[in-house]
Amino acid sequence: MKNTYKNKKVTIFGLGRTGLSLIDFFKNKKSNIRVIDFKNNPRYIDFVTRDIDVFLGENNNEIDNIIKSSDLLVISPGINIKLDKLNIARKLDIEILSDIDIFCKEISPLSNLIAVTGTNGKSTVVNLVYYMLKKHGLNVALGGNIGTPVLSLLNKKYDYYVLEMSSFQLENISNIFKTKTSSILNITQDHLDRHNNFEEYKNIKLKIFENSSNCIFNIDDINTYPLIKFNNSKYISFGQNKGDYFIKNINNNKFLFNKDENIINCSDIKINGMHNYINSLSSISITDTIGISRESQISVLKEFKGLNHRFQTISNKNNIEWINDSKSTNVDSTYIAVKNIINYKTLHLIIGGDKKSLDFSDLMKYLDSLKNIKIYCFGKDGEYIYNFIPEKSFLFETLKELFNFLIKNTKSGDVVLFSPGCSSLDQYKERGFEQRGDEFISLVNSIN
């Protein structure tokens, strides 16, 4: 493939993991690389070699001229496309791309790309898809929002690339992005601190269908329905009780179905809960589009234990169940987690962090309707949440402070659910929800 980036002045916006992968990529392409980050001391600054020009801080006077002299701007997912500085490039017709766009230009053929988005469940589904493809004997790469930047996947050739896509990534893509199969699991309010409103957030998610051969949507969630149907695309649905793929009750047992085909008894699926049965349906619908055998799919569903920090039982010490659901970063994920808990004397819900401009009123109304629930609020927006139901709630600054109070108020038969419903970046800036979940696990393990 011809190297079109050699000696080009490439300006990279954002010095996170994606920014580092962009630096490596353009180094190999022998580009003239410059990096811009508006933080004064970004986390990965020490990983940048001295031969790269780096411009830091919002008030750096050199940034405008660096943009004007660029042949290409590449923006990381954390960079908002509405950023005023990007208008300098637009006025000069300087090309602006994302790492996903560049990745799509590099891989061949494009027919081996699978993309999954949704407000909740993305990581679980892409992992299920990844393992189903591997079980079938294919050479598969997994990346995107889940941890490995896509350009880091170019070091080897794969049969299929499975990508988890966030709204931040989809916001930045162009029509270069084309997939064999794309799926939207669900769309509920999230990231309203970045996107102007829910409608904008939803439309960004729906971009994933624009150049996809197979479009898979949730028939129970009208927000996931494709805005436009293209003649050369196939449309496939899944849902709890209807759709091409659905769940059917037979003699008090739940089964996954594809039309008339009974695929598996839900009791045989390793990960429990209706949301995970829906995730399993989605993964089957995706892998069916590329001909993965039922044997491979069922084998994975029986073996896959789920991911850390996602409704994960940590301990049952003293007959008290401690559940780590630190990945819960929005209102809907907390609602789903609470609904999945049935048997308890008292439910102790730990919630809080940065609410990202989300509205908690419906969730709190639901929580107020429950009997025997206590709510423990912490973090940046803990007081906002506390004020909904102060008679059932307690307010703390940190998780550790909260925990020291909580362990004195639990008894046999209780369930403690750590499902914050908020971003973790107010207090856990290094590793986000993983760092937050690890602290919770450490606190639980410290109980005598």
Point out the residues that are catalytic.
122, 145, 191
Whether the CB-CB separation of 420 and 328 falls below 8 Å is answered with yes
Q: Which helix (H) or strand (E) holds 300?
A: helix 294-303
User: Can you say whether residue 30 is alpha, beta or left, with left for phi > 0 and alpha for psi between -120 and 50 degrees?
Assistant: left
Number of H helices, E strands in the chain: 14, 20
Q: Which helix (H) or strand (E) holds 172?
A: helix 167-172
Q: CB neighbours of 313 closer than 8 A, spacing ≥ 6?
A: 321, 322, 323, 324
Give 265's strand partners: 255
Q: What is the side-by-side strand order in the sheet with 312-315?
A: 312-315, 321-324, 415-418, 347-352, 373-378, 393-395
Q: Compute the distance between CA of residue 225 and CA of residue 93 in angstroms, rounded to an integer.
A: 34
Q: Compute the distance between CA of residue 176 and CA of residue 34 in angstroms, rounded to an integer.
A: 24
CA dihedral 433, 434, 437, 438 (to 10 degrees): -150
Q: Compute the distance between CA of residue 26 and CA of residue 10 in angstroms, rounded to an integer.
A: 8
Helix axes 99-106, 17-28, angle to 10 degrees: 40
Three-class DSSP category at 374: strand
